[in-house]
Amino acid sequence: MFNGNNKALIMAACCSASAAMAHLGCIIFGANWYRFFGAGEQMAKLAEQGHWYPTVVTFVIVILLSIWSLYGLSGAKVIRQLPLLRLALIIISAIYLIHGIAFFWLMPIFLGNSLTFWLVSSGICLTIGLLYAVGTLQIWSQLGAKNA
pLDDT tens figures, 3-61: 668 999 999 999 999 999 999 999 999 999 999 988 888 899 999 999 999 999 999 99
Q: So where are the chain's domains?
A: 7-147
pLDDT in tens, 56-114: 999 999 999 999 999 999 999 999 999 999 999 999 999 999 999 998 888 888 777 77
Q: Model-level pTM?
A: 0.89
DSSP string of the chain?
------HHHHHHHHHHHHHHHHHHHHHHH-HHHHHHTT--HHHHHHHHTT-HHHHHHHHHHHHHHHHHHHHHHHHTTSSPPPTTHHHHHHHHHHHHHHHHHSHHHHTTTSTT--HHHHHHHHHHHHHHHHHHHHHHHHHGGGS-GGG-
